[in-house]
Amino acid sequence: ELKVEQNPLFLSMQEGKNYTIYCNYSTTSDRLYWYRQDPGKSLESLFVLLSNGAVKQEGRLMASLDTKARLSTLHITAAVHDLSATYFCAVDIRTGTASKLTFGTGTRLQVTL
């Protein structure tokens, strides 16, 4: 059974600081996704990581994937209040034509002034 663990579960950080969210998973996969969710809202796709060593950046967020270590990171640079949200990683296990996502429990990020 695939397990996806995120840490930390809750992160309070000051504006301007840097921090990293970690996503560990237990089964081989070469496809990982990061999503953002604001309170009461749906999930917004942030990054799609498709191979070992993949690195993607958008604004103050950068995601990377190490398939050998079964680890993905979401790095936040110089945090701003607008980044406050819950961040989920999701690992894709493909069986035939089916693509099944297993989600981590999420990291609730609070950026304080």
Least distance to another protein from the beta carbon of 94, Å?
A: 8
Least distance to another protein from the beta carbon of 54, Å?
A: 11
Paired sense of beta strands 61-66 and 55-58, if any: antiparallel
Binding residues for another protein (CB under 8 A): 4, 31, 33, 35, 41-43, 45, 48, 50, 88, 90, 92, 94, 96-106
Q: Which is nearer to another protein, 68 or 96 (CB)?
A: 96
Contacts (Cβ under 8 Å, ≥6 apart) of 98: none
CB 18 within 8 A of CB 79: yes
Give the H or E element holding residue 98. strand 98-103
Q: Which is nearer to another protein, 68 or 97 (CB)?
A: 97
Q: Which is nearer to another protein, 1 or 113 (CB)?
A: 1
Least distance to another protein from the beta carbon of 113, Å?
A: 26
Query: Which tokens sit at 88?
Result: 């989920």
CA-based end-to-end distance of the chain: 41
Q: Which is nearer to another protein, 98 or 113 (CB)?
A: 98
Give Cα 106 distance to the centre of its chain: 8
